[in-house]
Structure 1
C-alpha cells in the first residue's frame, strides 16, 4: 500500500490518515507504547474510526472524539472501555480538564493526557453520586489490576522501546513542576542519580522480589521519597569512590513520585539504548553541549564502530574523550558477550562468568574526559554496570602526560592500548591556542607541501589548532603498533585542501581500513556538521619506513556512504511504510559492520 507524502499509516487501524503533528508526535507514539511497553493487544485499542463519548448526560450522539480508546477485549463497547487517551496539543492544565470531561460521561476509569511532550495519568472515582479525580503514578500494564500499579517484581521489568520519549516527558514535567530547581544541569544530575539508583535496584533485587524503586496507587508521596532516599544511600555506600557523600535526592516529594512512576516498569539495564546518553541528549540542551563540542554519539553509530573493530576479551580499550561513557559501555557489552560465550563453551558456572566479566571491566577499560561532571557520570555508569569505575579519569587528554595525575599516568600508558575508540570534540568556536600543548604535536605545527618531493615538511608551531585534529595524534600515541583506532571525524578533513597534510599524516602513521560517511542529519538538531567514521590500524616504525621506501603493499579500503541514520533533522525517527504496508525504520547503520566484517565481495 503506497502512502503519499503528508500521510501515514495508523499504527492501530492500518488506515491511511493525515500526518498531522498531533498524530506524528502523540497519537502514533502512545499507541505504540501501549502495545509495545504496556502489552495491550492492538485489537483492544481503537483510533480509527474514533471512539466517541458524551458531552453531557443527555447527549445521545456522543460528540467528543477520543484519540485512543482502550478496551478490556476486542469487542469495543461502552461497557468494557477501560482507558481514554487524549492527545490534543494543550497545556497540562487544559489537557487534564478536557480529559476529566471525557471521563465524567464514560464508563472508563483511567485517563491519560499526552501531547508528545508531557503526560498525566488520572483515576476517576465515583462515591455517593459524586465524581472525583486523582493522580496515578502510571497506568496498569495489560493484565494488571489498578492496585497492581508499581507492584513489580524484578523479573516483571521490561526494556523500554523509546527511552528518549520517557526522558523528554520527565524533563518537561520537571521544568513545569519541580520546586526549587530551575537549571538543566541540576535536573540532569538529579535524573542521573535516580537512573543509577534504579539500576542498583535492578542489580540487587532477586528476580521474584518486589523492586524498591516504585510508586503505588494512593501511596503517600513522602513514603515514596523515603524509600528512594534510603535506596540512594545504599548506592553511595556501594560506590563511595564514585558518588560523593554530599550527593542527594533534591526533588520534592510530588515530583519524585512522578519520575519514579514513569520509570518504574522499565529495566534500564536491559533497554537497547544507553539510558545515561539518552538522558543527556534530553536534559542538556544544545546551548550547553554545542559550546564544548559535546555532541553525544547516537547509539547506532557507537554500536556500528564497536562491531567493526570487534574487540576481543583481552583487548585493552580507551576512549580519551569519553563524555558520559557511551563507547566504553557499548564496548563492555560487546566484550562481555564474548566472555559469556567462552564461559558457556567451557561450562563455567554463572558466578565464574560474572567474576570474569568484572575482571575484564576493571583491567581493560579506560576513559578520560576533561569535564568533571561527565567524567563523574561515566565513572558511575561503569561502576554500576561492570565495576570499571577505577579506569575513568578527569583530565585534559591533550595535555602533556606529565601534567596528568600520577594515577592517570599509571593507568593510561602511551602505546599500551589495543583499541582507541572515540568521538573527539568539534565545533566552530573550539580551538587550542596554548603553545605548551601545541608544541608537543606534529599536527600542532604548520606543514608545507614540497611539490618536487610530493612530501610535507614540518614548520613552526601554529597559533591555534582545533582539538579534533590534535586528538588524531593523541589517539595514535595511546595505541600500540597494530592497534585499531575508530574515530568520528569531520568529513571536511578528507575533502578540503587545507587538511591535506592531516590526511598525509594519517596515511603515514596508519593503514586505513574503512571510511564510512554519515548523513548530515546524524548530529542534528544539535549541529549540521557532516561527519565520517575512520577505522585504521597503527603502523610500526618498520612499516612507516617501508612506506617511505615505497615498499608498502597496496591494500583494500572499505568505503561506505550511509544514506539513512534512523532520524531526521529534527531528531524524529525516520519511519516509512514499505511495499508490504508495514512500518520500518530507515536506518542503514546496523548493516555496515556486517558488510565490513564480511570482507571484499563481488556484489
Structure 2
C-alpha cells in the first residue's frame, strides 16, 4: 500500500471516533504519533543514544517500546488500528521519507480549513516566492519569530540545501543556521516534525516560547534573514507591551513583531514579512513604526496580494514587505499581484500557485544595483519617500495604472443595487409628476 493510501486509511479510521472533535483535534493526535515514530526512526538512523538528544523522551514512550509490536499495549482498539497502519511506513527509507514529506505538507494544508488552526499555515506559493526573492545562503542565520508549522523554515532549509550545500560539512552547518520560535503547542509540534522530515536531525533550534516575552533591548542584532507571517488581528496578553519602548507600546501582535524584526536584524540583514492592509494605512503607533522602518531600513518593495490568499481561514487582504536594514528608504516599489486569468478568488480547490509569481520574479532585478532594471507597468509603480512622508506614512497607495477597482463583496454589491433602484424609483416618480403636470396643462388649454 502506498504512503498516501496509508495516511488516508488512518484519517478514515480516526473519523470513526465520535470522541474526537473535528479535523484540528484529529490532526493534533496524528501529529503526536508521527512525531514519536519519526523521532524513533531518526535515532536509529543516526545511531545516537537517547541522551545525545536535547529533546528528551522517557524510555517508556519511545515508539519501539510501546507501539512497534502490533500486539503491544493500547488503550483503545481504534487507536491500535491507527498505530498499526502507521507502522507500515518506514521512515528510515529515504524514498518513503521524501514521499511522506510531501504528504505531510498536505496534512498541514488541511489546517487552513480546520477552524482557527489555519492561522499557523501560510500558503506554500507565498513561502516559496518570499524565500526565492530573499535568497538565504549558507552561513546566514535564518529566523522565523512566529514559525507556526515551519513552512518558511522548511522552505529556507531546502533553498540553501539545493543551491549552496556541496559537502557533508555544509549540510551540518546548515542545520545550525535555522531558528524558529512558536508560542502554541500544536504548531510547535508540527514544526518540529516538519524540520526532521526535511533533514534537520535534531531541531533544538525550534523553541516553544513567545518571542515577544522578553525586553526588546535584550535581543542581539545578529539575524541575517527573517522570513515570517506573524499573527495579525489579535492582541497580546497584558504586560507584553512593557517589553517595548514607551512610544511604541501596543498590544497588537503584528505591530510588536514588526518592532522585534527591525531590532534583531543585523546590519544588511534582509527580511520579508506578511502584514495586513491595516498596517499600511494605520495611524498612531503604526505611523511611528513605519517612520522607524523607513528610516532604519530600505523598504524597497511591497507586493500587494489579492483577496482570498488565506481563504478559508481569513479574507483579510495582505501584503509582503521586503526590506534591508542599515540604509534609509529612498523609493518604495509597489507590485500589485493580479489573479490569474479565469480566477476571481482563491479557494481550497483553486489555491494560489507559485508559478503566478513568475512575472514578479522576471521584473525583480538586483538590489545591489538599486533595482535599476525595474520599470513601471500596469502592476508596478514607484513612490518616493518624500511622497510617503507627505502622506503621513500611509502606505496604502493605489495602483495609478489601473482604473477603479471593482469590489466583488456581495454585501456591497447588494447595497449598491438597492441604492441604484431607489434612485431609479425617485427619477420615475419625478418623471411621472412632470408628465402628469404636462398632460393636465394640455387638457386645461383644450377647454
* TM-score (norm: length of structure 1): 0.50
Give yes or no for contact 2:216–2:260 (8 Å, CA) kept in 1.
no
- The number of residues matched between the two structures is 352
Displacement of 1:519 in angstroms is 1.8
Compared CA separation, residues 482 and 317, structure 1 to 2 (3 A) = same
2:270 to 471, 484, 495: 484
Matched residue, 1:382:
195
Compared CA separation, residues 366 and 193, structure 1 to 2 (3 A) = same
1:523 to 310, 315, 323: 310
Matched residue, 1:280:
108
Any stretches of 5+ residues in structure 2 without a counterpart?
Answer: 68-73, 378-447
Report 1:44-83 matches (<5 A): none
Give yes or no for contact 1:177–1:255 (8 Å, CA) kept in 2.
no
Give yes or no for contact 2:145–2:180 (8 Å, CA) kept in 1.
yes
Matched residue, 1:52:
none
CA distance in 2, matches of 1:505, 1:275: 42
Matched residue, 2:397:
none
Aligned to 1:529, the other structure's residue is in SS state: coil
1:510 to 289, 297, 309: 297
2:236 to 418, 424, 432: 432
Matched residue, 2:227:
421
**Are 2:335 and 1:559 equivalent residues in the alignment?**
yes
CA RMSD between the two structures: 4.2
Compared CA separation, residues 277 and 495, structure 1 to 2 (3 A) = farther
CA distance in 2, matches of 1:416, 1:477: 9
Compared CA separation, residues 484 and 507, structure 1 to 2 (3 A) = same
CA distance in 2, matches of 1:486, 1:166: 37
Q: Give a deviation string over 1:265-296, Cα, whole Å, max 9, x none.
A: 99565459765453234258543426xxx241
Any stretches of 5+ residues in structure 1 without a counterpart?
Answer: 1-137, 139-149, 151-156, 205-230, 344-352, 404-408, 447-460, 545-551, 576-584
- Structure with the higher fraction of residues in helix conformation: 2
Aligned to 2:309, the other structure's residue is in SS state: helix
**Are 2:117 and 1:289 equivalent residues in the alignment?**
yes
Matched residue, 1:368:
181
Report 1:144-293 matches (<5 A): 169=8, 173-178=12-17, 184=23, 187-193=26-32, 195-196=34-35, 237=50, 240-242=53-55, 244-245=57-58, 246=61, 252-257=79-84, 267=95, 269-270=97-98, 275-282=103-110, 286-289=114-117
Q: Give a deviation string over 1:17-64, Cα, whole Å, max 9, x none.
A: xxxxxxxxxxxxxxxxxxxxxxxxxxxxxxxxxxxxxxxxxxxxxxxx
Determine which structure has greater relative contact order: mean sequence separation of CA pairs < 8 Å that are 6+ residues apart, divided by chain length: 2
Displacement of 1:418 in angstroms is 0.6
**Are 2:116 and 1:313 equivalent residues in the alignment?**
no
**Are 2:137 and 1:302 equivalent residues in the alignment?**
no
Displacement of 1:190 in angstroms is 4.0
Give yes or no for contact 2:143–2:179 (8 Å, CA) kept in 1.
yes
**Are 2:155 and 1:330 equivalent residues in the alignment?**
yes
Give yes or no for contact 2:138–2:170 (8 Å, CA) kept in 1.
no
